[in-house]
Chain A
Amino acid sequence: KAGVTQTPRYLIKTRGQQVTLSCSPISGHRSVSWYQQTPGQGLQFLFEYFSETQRNKGNFPGRFSGRQFSNSRSEMNVSTLELGDSALYLCASSYADRLTDTQYFGPGTRLTVL
């Protein structure tokens, strides 16, 4: 069974630009969650999508948004990039419930904002 894939793996952007990251979950998984990982803040939850609906959202500004398609693939978008948005963005999928099921993580997208 193929794992969680994320594209692109690396991105370099400048302040003020916007970026879209993509995540393909494991086949059959309906829950997709996004996390931001930085050395200072650790792993922080961005949002979770389940059956094309946002089920939960973390404490991030509205510049961070996402969506999920009918095939469970998900995208997250960050608009008006700031230097502090530089991070590893991880996508995780689970069968149905990210709070109790095992989450399977992708390798991440490393975003650098200059």
Chain B
Amino acid sequence: AQSVTQLGSHVSVSEGALVLLRCNYSSSVPPYLFWYVQYPNQGLQLLLKYTSAATLVKGINGFEAEFKKSETSFHLTKPSAHMSDAAEYFCAVSEGYSGGGADGLTFGKGTHLIIQP
């Protein structure tokens, strides 16, 4: 079964600084990887998705993530943080139906991103 670990439940960066949110996964098959963002009192919104087409994935709002198989990582980055980026970010991994099991999609615990003015 797949699993995902997000390092750091809270990350604080200054406005204009680099944003780096860490995600490590485990999977027995080539995974599908997702980053979602959740703003207060809202549902989750997809930022980007990795499906093996390219290791560097560009998403919305200037975010991107790089798939590193050797490190089993899929860290999310943004060159310059904006105040509007303050939100909860979730990494998720799926093995597709080849992975079997009832819940083939696993979400991390989330990282709360705080932007300091």
Contact = CB atoms under 8 A, between A and B. Distances in A.
Contacts of B96: 97, 99-100
Contact of B102 (A59, A97, A103): A59
Interface of A: 4, 42-43, 45, 56-59, 90, 92, 97-100, 102-108
Contact of B105 (A98, A107, A108): A98
A100 B102 contact: no
B110 A90 contact: no
B43 A4 contact: yes
A1 to B, nearest CB: 15
Contact of A42 (B45, B46, B110): B110
Interface residues of B, number: 25
Residue of B34, B43, B95, B105 with highest tally of chain A CB at under 10 A: B43
Contact of A105 (B44, B103, B105): B44
Contacts of B46: 102-104
B109 A42 contact: yes
A99 B102 contact: no
Contacts of B97: 97, 99
Interface string B61-102: 000000000000000000000000000001000111101001
Contacts of B34: 102
Contacts of A43: 90, 107, 110
9 contacts: A42-B109, A45-B102, A45-B105, A59-B102, A97-B97, A99-B95, A102-B49, A105-B36, A106-B43
